[in-house]
Structure 1
Amino acid sequence: MIWTLVALAAAPFVGSFIGLLTLRLPAGRPWIASRSACDGCGRRLGPPDLVPIASFLVLRGRCRTCRAPIPPRYPMLEAGCLAIAAWSALAQSGPLVLATAALGWGLLTAAVIDAENLWLPDVVTLPLGVAGWAVTVGLGVAPPFEPLIGAAVGYGVLALVGLSYKALRGRQGLGGGDPFLLGAIGAWVGWQSLPTVLLWSCGVGLAAAAAIGLIRRRIDTTQPLPFGTFLAVGGWLTWLLGPLPGLS
């Protein structure tokens, strides 16, 4: 139970940090060792302002000083991280509970940044891959070289697809961060499970494109989609459910 309690206790605070990171990182603002402050009045936030979820509810979503609205992304991401921790506890046991939650939090960070900015920063994808090697090897899930092979195959497959598309169409078809994200996922799930990751990702991507088409009442084939967001979903489902039959 200790691993479950740690994951559940840490989840809202991780979600708060993800909310800050996903805003500041794309904007080029400092996020390491930087104090949280109200974007409206600039007041540094104290402990009563930073209790995940509870502070937002008590303050009714507004700064206690200037009454500027607090971005709802914070409680949403805090609740999302809590849900990821609970899902991890239901799906795993022992240290894998916290490891699975950490994977989910990392994938959530990548998914949000890519969905909002069509960008996957190396500072998110590369540590996620290193963590995949450390977790799978450290917990005896995989031998030492298997995560490295998974990372190399994951990166290589999408890098080759991107180069081929550019050679055939004369324009970029994949973001430069997508191969790094699939490589990071490969370090977690292994190269044998990468076809399942891609199948889930493409399925989610097609569903998202169809939903957007229905809302806009037309299909725009030139509209870029955040494939990294779909990869994050595919990686999460593959880690939890394993490879689909016939794809490993």
Structure 2
Amino acid sequence: MSSALPPNVWPVLLGVLGAVFGSFIATLAIRWPEGRSIAVGRSACDGCGRTLRATDLVPLLSFLVLRGRCRSCDARIAPAHWITECLGAAIGIVAGLVAPGFEGVAGAVCGWLLLTSGAIDLAAFWLPDRITVSLAIAALVGGLAGAAPDTTERLIGGVGGFATLWLVAAFYRRVRGRTGLGGGDPKLFGAIGLWLGWRALPVVLLIASLAGLAVVLAIAVAGRRPTATDRLPLGTLLAGAAFLCWALSV
């Protein structure tokens, strides 16, 4: 689909938007699992409660100027803020580079929703249905608007993605007598299937599995022996793998 803007504008535009969205996503990932308000309003310091000024809220730049601490109480600003802002910007830049125009915007939106799911799952082992449903809706809208793959492949991917992890979870529960996958993981994989289509799902699962294995090996190398009760945020791994697959396939 053609774009009225020059191709080199899209990475900048989506990168800036991504940093802004990343700031909100970081706050969401910290506050939502704790049951704190996520309503849009005046932001405040988590340490002293001081209402933050506009100059305190410039993504990345404010963190650098304030040296990672609150201007009033000197409390440390959680690194999750600038890390998520960087990831949000990176998603926008990559989307703008690989697919300038509508398809890149659609990819960035899905990427930011995946970032939200991944950040919350990493923080609290929780995948909110509202975010997953939003990703599914965005994926279907993109398909209906003409973005590849076609709607049939997306629908097969949605059903197949959900069914695959649901069956894995049911089998593990039957054999081991305990829950091995959270209820949100099959839903997220189904939403990813609606975005990428069924053909991409094996690759997404393979990349996520290899990333999980790399994390386990890193833990072992660091000197702590992994145990059977250790948990990995599969949603975070799936989210990263899905965006990588999209970026490489456009």
What TM-score results when the alignment is normalised by the length of structure 1?
A: 0.91
Give the AA of the match of 1:54.
L
CA distance in 1 between partners of 2:151 and 2:206 (Å): 26
Alpha-carbon contact 2:196-2:246 (below 8 Å) kept: yes
Tell me by how many angstroms 1:81 deviates. 1.3
**Aligned 1:99-138 pairs, distance under 5 A:** 99-138=106-145
The offset of 1:115, in angstroms, is 1.8
Contact 1:3-1:95 within 8 A present in 2 as well: no
Describe the SS at the equivalent of 1:142: coil
**Hey, what's the Cα distance between the residues in 1 that align with 2:147 and 2:232?**
36
Matched residue of 1:193: which SS?
Answer: helix
Asked whether 1:72 is paired with 2:102, we answer no
- Contact 1:6–1:98 (CA under 8 A) maintained in structure 2: no
Residues 1:166 and 2:173 aligned together: yes
Cα offset for 1:231? 1.0
Within 5 Å, which residues of 2 pair with 1:1-248?
A: 1=7, 2-242=9-249
Change beyond 3 A, Cα 1:30–1:195: same
Residues 77-110 of structure 1 show CA distances to partners (whole Å, capped at 9, x for unaligned) of: 1122112222222222221222222222222222
- Give the share of equivalent positions with the same residue, in percent: 44
User: Gapped runs of 5+ residues in structure 1?
Assistant: 244-248
TM-aligned CA distance change 1:39 to 1:217, over 3 Å:
closer
Q: Compare 75-84 and 143-152 and name the one that shifted more.
A: 143-152
| Cα distance between partner residues in 2 of 1:78 and 1:188 | 23
CA distance in 2, matches of 1:192, 1:147: 9
- C-alpha distance in 1, partners of 2:180/2:50? 43
Distance 1:217 1:26, change over 3 A: closer
Relative contact order, CA 8 A, sep 6+: which one is greater?
2
Shift of 1:217: 4.2
SS of the equivalent of 1:216 reads coil
Runs of 4+ in 1 over 3 A off after TM superposition: 1-5, 142-146
Q: Is the 8 A contact 1:193 1:242 kept in 2?
A: no
CA distance in 2, matches of 1:16, 1:101: 15
Q: How far does residue 199 in structure 1 lie from its aligned partner after superposition? A: 1.1
* Alignment partners' CA distance in 2, 1:234 and 1:40: 34
Contact kept in structure 2, 1:213 and 1:220, CA below 8 Å: no
Q: Deviations over 1:37-84 (max 9, x none)?
A: 111221211211111111122222222222222222212211221122
- Specify the SS of the correspondent of 1:4: helix
Partners of 1:151 and 1:15 lie apart in 2 by: 26
Q: Give the length in aligned residue pairs.
A: 243
